Structure 1
Amino acid sequence: MLENFFWSSSPGVQLQHGEHDPFLVLLSLAVCWIASSQALRHAAFARLATKPQLRCWSIAGGSLALGIGIWAMHFIGMLAYSLHETVQYDLLRTVISILPGIAASAVALTLLSRNEISPKQLMIGGLIVGVGIATMHYSGMAAMRMSSPHKYSPFWFAVSLIVGVALATLALWVRFGLNRSSIKHDTLRKTLAALIMGGAIAGMHYIAMLALRVTADHSSHGIAASNDKLILALTIALITLAIGGLIAQANGLIHYRTRWQKVDMNEARLSALVNMAADGIICIDNRGLVTDYNPAAEAIFGWTAEEVLGQNVKMLMPSALSGQHDHYLDRHETGQRNAQPPLKNKISEVLGQNKQGALVPLRLALSQAEARGQRIYVGLLTDLTDRKKTEHQLHIAATVFDHSYEGMVVLDANRKVVDINPAFERMSGLSRKIAKNKEFISLFIHDDEDSRWHEIWTQIGRNGHWQGACTMRHDAHTHQISLTAVRDEQQRLHHYIAVCYQRIDIPLTVSI
């Protein structure tokens, strides 16, 4: 069998020497380069795929496009080689020879779709791809039908395999190598990668053609029409490029649809977050017109989105402040045109005005962003009305705490002193700093009265309150103590409040 495949020199046997058509050679290279470019694009699609199905489709579609492209390059390259006799091709074998090229392309694209590749993977992948392309080449050559027998030089056959594996390894490495190179321009890197990869694939074919040996024993000396070769080559090239283009277009549309779905989902998610936000969110353009206005902002100002969108944001400000807004916005826009730093989470307290004309205290976090080339300003508004009321109530409570004549003590849930007021400082003789973290009962004389305090805490736990007399350790004076337990919304003990005042015993006088 090997005798029918490998050629050995015999005395008196003459060999035919063929010639390559330069135009068809260039056409085969162009087809290979375009197919390589499409393969790299499919590999990029596979890397960016958000779903396993899309990744598989990208690799499968790219393998088909690249495999047909490699086969077309080989077939056009074979048409470019002219022998002095008519050459025909077995249709079934010619079609079957596409399969090894598609399989080799699948391995190549699987590796190219990765972000990184190890040296071991590169060597194994190069071996498989190189052998696959060589199999496609020699199975395609087996489809040739000539009156003269054709065989292959063992030396050049071995060289073609070695070079094929080496060039396939280079074709796989080139994308990763160029990505790590100093070439910054992305289009230039992609173009160079396609040229090198296409040249590597085509190089294997033309080196393998050096192994072809055709004897001249039974040559019919008929010359195939060059016009037929040209038409056939152009037809194959156009069909190959059309198939590759259709596959690339379908792949691109699928990925575009997937990206559109992702963008649509992100927009829906963002819309849900904005609409469900507890704080008001208002966006304006560089003219001060409201472009976004969420439900929380409606609750703050009383204006609906239909009433506010497209209107100037000054309608939400007191008249004393709205007159300054245009000047501030114009000044900031001028600064942006002069490359000043952008606004980023500038926080301030401002006054808004609701639909009823009432002033609303607000916390404003202001930032700017770019949306489709246009500058927008995003304001995050927190209604401070309840907080201001709480602060006012706390101020009143603090005033009462500090100025009350009765001594007041705040205890934590472990009955340790958190704070005392000035009146209790005078009663206990302790400063706030010293009193903090002391056990409350340590401030009183309680010899052999541990059981009494146990009963006191039990009564407070049961009734929430206790009142009675205790002797202060500091001066041995008896004081009236009122202890109250404070609980949170879940009725869990949070802290205690103790109110102390000195009991004054009024002497009983008897008039006679």
Structure 2
Amino acid sequence: MFTKPDLESMHIIEGSLDPLIVLLSFIIAFGASYTAIYINRRINVKGFFHKNLWLVLASLAMGLGIWSMHYVGMSALVISIPMKHNLFLTLISVIPAIVASYMAFYLTNSEYKKIRTFIVAGILMGCGIALMHYLGMAAMEMDATVVYNPLLFGLSILIAIVASFASLYIFSITDTKMEKILVKSIAAFLMAIAVTSMHYTGMLAMKLYIEGTIHVHAHDSNMMDVVLFVTIGIVSLFILAILASRLDRYVDYRMKNFDAVTQLPNQNQFTEDQRIKKDTKLVAVVHIHNLEKYILAYGYSFGDTIIKTVMKIMQTNLPKETKLYRTEANRFTVIHAPAENVQNTIDGLRCICLLLERPLNIDERMVSVEAVVAVSQSDDKKAVREHFANTIAVLHAPSINYVRSEDSYV
């Protein structure tokens, strides 16, 4: 590997690099790094998907990207002897890059980040990149003896480790700013420089010796097919990351703004809608007084069933355009739809009162729901906030006794 053959009987093959393919390899490395950064920033964000999913996606993006860049980089080498690639070794060489990327991202996303954490992560990722590179180089099958310059060989590994450390550290310290495309692009650019520098330093360390006559050949036609396949894989991974991120944000939004039991908008959404829907003629609050009694007797599941039953009664009798919220555990809030006749909403609320006066059959138990319906109504439109404050004042008034389905008006 490092021993030169007898120069009297061997010829040194001088190769050259195709600048367009070198540029392509850098673009692939940049695209993979950007994708990995984009996915990596979601790892510590609490959401619907477990962080291990983002770790795997980031590792696949980085590992496949490095491998694809390496493969393209090898095809950039123009030499005058026949060469092909051992398919098994070529495919196996991607494993160190993916595994090393996973371990590095796992360490740098741990709760306790110290400088030694980044050093260990840099060593793991750098060695993974180097192992992938030299396994890939070993996959080249040709009638030549490959000899490496020990100094450049060691330098290539050192570059991989130092550059990986620097890139991972940049990923971490810029995590809060990763929403900005420019910052992500700069970090990805530095990582791409690190990967390509290591690769071409490793190629520079390689010398090819051949015995006998040199025959000119054409490039392996299957090489670009593999490159195309991996590039498509990276693009697909990036699209998957975008879709998963959109879904994750949607789930976050649902968890923040919607009640888990009823799927109705919650207090957060009600507060936001107060800001958007400034005026209305009617706001009503339905307060269930004895919910806690049934929860203590039969458990939370039974209490949830009561809430769902009351919700269905309200949804059935209120105009469809009227907005219904679950603003507290035992409280529903109704906003009258501007396009609806106020009387339709009032009639619906009165019907709800009548239905709640009767015992409800819930899980084969007859339940008497003690509720108060407080209504704030005006002939002219008023702020939702003002109407809501009026209903709360009615509920908290000392003169109000909680009896089954009592109407209380302001």
Pick one of 200, 213, 237 that aligns with 2:194: 200
Tell me how far apart the structure 2 counterparts of residues 386 and 153 of structure 1 sit (CA, whole Å).
85
Residue number in structure 2 paired with 1:311: 338
Which residue is 1:158 aligned to?
Answer: 154
User: Taking structure 1 as reference, are residues 146 and 117 closer, same or farther at Cα in structure 2, changes over 3 Å only?
Assistant: same
Identify if the C-alpha distance between structure 1 residues 43 and 290 changes in structure 2 by more than 3 Å, giving closer, same or farther.
Answer: farther
Q: Label 1:115 to 1:206 Cα distance change in 2 as closer, same or farther (>3 A).
A: farther
Instruction: Answer yes or no: is 1:17 the counterpart of 2:14.
Output: yes
- What's the secondary structure of 2:165's corresponding residue? helix
Work out whether 1:130 is the aligned partner of 2:126: yes
**1:26-175 equivalence runs, <5 A:** 26-50=23-47, 54-114=50-110, 117-175=113-171
Distance 1:291 1:73 in 2: 64
- Could you tell me how far 1:255 is from its partner in structure 2? 4.2
C-alpha offsets along residues 20-61 of structure 1, whole Å, 9 cap, x if unaligned? 00010001111111011111112112222436x621111112
Amino acid at match of 1:26: L
Aligned residue runs from structure 1 range 404-419, under 5 A: none
Taking only the aligned residue pairs, the percentage that are identical comes to 22
Over aligned residues, Cα RMSD in angstroms?
4.0
CA distance in 1, matches of 2:396, 2:285: 20
The offset of 1:313, in angstroms, is: 11
Equivalent-residue separation in structure 2 for 1:42 and 1:195 (angstroms): 16
Return the alpha-carbon distance in structure 2 between the equivalents of residues 291 and 265 of structure 1: 28
Matching of residue 241 in structure 1 with residue 231 in structure 2: yes
The residue that corresponds to 1:268 in the other structure is 258
**Cα drift, residue 171 of structure 1:** 1.8
Residues 1:274 and 1:78: Cα distance change in structure 2 (over 3 Å) = closer
Contact 2:281–2:377, Cα closer than 8 Å, also in 1: no
| TM-score using structure 1 length | 0.54
Q: Cα offset for 1:159?
A: 1.2
Checking the alignment, whether the CA contact within 8 Å between 2:94 and 2:132 is kept in structure 1 is: yes
- Structure 2: give runs of 5+ residues left out of the alignment: 288-316, 323-334, 344-374, 401-410
Tell me how far 1:236 sits from its aligned partner: 3.3
Cα distance change of structure 1 residues 159 and 353 upon mapping to structure 2, 3 Å threshold: closer
Report SS of the residue matched to 1:151.
strand
1:23 and 1:72, CA in 2 relative to 1: closer, same or farther beyond 3 A? same
State the shift of 1:264 in Å: 2.8
Shift of 1:11: 4.7
Which residue number corresponds to residue 221 of structure 1? 215
Q: Report what 2:360 is aligned to.
A: none
Which residue number corresponds to residue 416 of structure 1?
none
Aligned mates of 1:147, 1:385 — CA distance in 2: 91
CA contact (8 A) 2:13 2:79 kept: yes
Q: Match of 1:46, SS?
A: coil
What's the secondary structure of 2:34's corresponding residue? Answer: helix
Moved more, 252-261 or 267-276: 267-276
Cα distance in 1 for residues equivalent to 2:149 and 2:276: 75
2:253 is matched by which residue type in structure 1?
V
Residue aligning to 2:332: none
User: Closer, same or farther in 2 for the Cα pair 1:93/1:186, shift >3 Å?
Assistant: same
Question: 1:49 touches 1:255 (CA, 8 Å); kept in 2?
Answer: no
- Judged with a 3 Å threshold, the aligned counterparts in structure 2 of structure 1 residues 36 and 294 are, in CA distance, closer, same or farther, namely same
Answer yes or no: is the 8 Å Cα contact 1:163–1:204 preserved in 2.
yes
Provide the secondary structure at the position in 1 that maps to 2:392: strand
Cα 1:25–1:383 shift into 2, 3 Å: same
Provide TM-score, normalisation by structure 2: 0.66
Aligned pairs for 1:340-351 within 5 A: none
For residue 392 of structure 2, what is the aligned residue in structure 1?
382
Q: Which runs of 5+ in 1 are unaligned?
A: 297-303, 317-351, 358-363, 369-376, 391-512
Instruction: Give, in angstroms, the shift of residue 385 of structure 1.
Output: 9.0
Is the partner of 1:310 in helix, strand or coil?
A: coil
Structure 2 residue identity aligned to 1:210: L
1:252 to partner: Cα distance: 3.8
C-alpha displacement at 1:146, in angstroms? 1.0
1:197 to partner: Cα distance: 0.9
Post-superposition CA distance 1:419-458 (Å, at most 9, x none): xxxxxxxxxxxxxxxxxxxxxxxxxxxxxxxxxxxxxxxx
Q: Deviations over 1:149-187 (max 9, x none)?
A: 11211111111111221111122122234458xx89811
- 2:280 is aligned to 289
